Chains A and B, each alone.
Chain A
Amino acid sequence: MTKTNQLEIARQFVTALPHARALGLDVESLEPGRAVFTMPYDTKLIGDPETGVMAGGAVSALLDTTCGAAVASHALSGAPTATLDLRIDYMRTATPGQTIRAEAECYHVTRSVAFVRAVALDDDRDNPVATATGAFTFRMIEGAR
């Protein structure tokens, strides 16, 4: 399967998730164990009316979705996944008007658990908006180990 083909399938998958669609998420890239998703700035997602900064909850939802996609795309993944825990640290407020981009990496899997880390960035790529680490349910494909 070509890379563009895979990306198109991933995009269709994400846009089929009602909450991801409501947030306006899009897939920038997807490869085994790695996912990059974007969330464009939208006034309906504002969490601080004084500054127009998007809500932490929206960033959490973006990070959770991207982490889940990194797990689901892992070469050994044999079943859908669900979040077990997710820790998010907010380094700074995202700049209003800018798209937020989340990069997630599934760096370790066991038979039943996948471990993921992710970072959320806006246009200033050198200063992360937030980072996340999480554990997700995992089931290895038959005969993998």
Chain B
Amino acid sequence: MSRTRPEPVQVIKQRRDAALEALVSGVPYIQFLGIRFDRRGDELTAILPYSDMLIGNPLLPALHGGATAAFLEVTAVIGLSWSMLWQDLETGVLDPSQVSEGHLPRLPKTIGLTVDYLRSGLPRDAYARAEVTRSGRRYASVRVEAWQDNVARPIAQATGHFRMPVRGEDAE
């Protein structure tokens, strides 16, 4: 039995990072907030670097609740898209060169998002991770949590429901 040699690690990494970069850099609002994504295999951690314009109450000072909600929503949408994109890239459904040129699947649409504010957001970097709790052909549900200094002390959590983009042959 013959087995094809696995691709060099740098080739694989380059392909995955380019796909993630194409996904994230195409959204102006993500650039506006300054959100970046750290990738370990298929696991993503969103990073919201501190910036003065994220402040809601300048007296405390604390992060704006709306900025925190937006950070959680962006993390959920990108986390969900990435899980689809990853699968399609790894199984060869999507052509990596097309993806890095920006030919990406459409983003999921938010149906509803419930945000719980657990602690006041401090004026420093925030991190978030999303977990897809249910992924179907039409709908998906995502849980997402954000923290700052201590991962065990989240500042906010959210659950969101999303309408999945039409894929493959069903597309117009």
- Using a CB–CB cutoff of 8 Å, the interface residues on chain A facing chain B are 16-23, 43-50, 54-58, 60-65, 68, 80, 82-90, 93
Contacting pair A61 B70 (CB below 8 A) = yes
Contacting pair B114 A87 (CB below 8 A) = yes
Known: A18-B53, A43-B28. A55 touches B111 (CB 8 A): no
Selected from A48, A64, A80, the residue in CB contact (under 8 A) with B66 is A64
Known: A17-B58, A56-B113. A47 touches B27 (CB 8 A): yes
Contacts of A80 in B (CB 8 A): 57, 59
Known: A16-B58, A86-B114. A50 touches B64 (CB 8 A): no
Q: Is B54 an interface residue (CB 8 A)?
A: yes
Contacting pair A49 B26 (CB below 8 A) = yes
**A21 CA to B67 CA in the complex, in Å?**
12
10 tightest CB-CB pairs across the interface, nearest first? A61-B66, A57-B70, A19-B64, A55-B29, A64-B66, A22-B53, A83-B65, A60-B69, A46-B28, A87-B114
Q: Which residue of A lies closest to B113 (CB)?
A: A88
Q: How far is the CB of B119 from chain A (nearest CB, A)?
A: 10
Known: A18-B55, A43-B28. 10 other contacts (CB 8 A): A17-B55, A45-B29, A56-B77, A60-B66, A65-B64, A83-B65, A83-B115, A84-B117, A85-B114, A86-B115
Contacting pair B29 A19 (CB below 8 A) = no
Tally of contact residues, B, Cβ under 8 A? 38
Selected from A17, A44, A49, the residue in CB contact (under 8 A) with B64 is A17
Chain B, residues 77-120, CB within 8 Å of chain A (1/0): the string is: 10000000000000000000000000000110111111111001
**A19 CA to B56 CA in the complex, in Å?**
6
Q: How far is the CB of A92 from chain B (nearest CB, A)?
A: 10
Known: A62-B66, A64-B66, A64-B69. A87 touches B112 (CB 8 A): yes
CB contacts between A and B, total, < 8 Å: 130
Known: A18-B53, A18-B58, A61-B69. A50 touches B117 (CB 8 A): no
- Using a CB–CB cutoff of 8 Å, the interface residues on chain B facing chain A are 26-29, 31-33, 52-59, 62, 64-67, 69-71, 73-74, 77, 106-107, 109-117, 120
Contacting pair A17 B29 (CB below 8 A) = no
Q: Which residue of A lies closest to B62 (CB)?
A: A82
Known: A19-B66, A90-B112. A55 touches B52 (CB 8 A): no
Contacting pair B64 A57 (CB below 8 A) = no
**A90 CA to B108 CA in the complex, in Å?**
13
Contacting pair B64 A20 (CB below 8 A) = yes
Q: Which residue of A lies closest to B52 (CB)?
A: A18
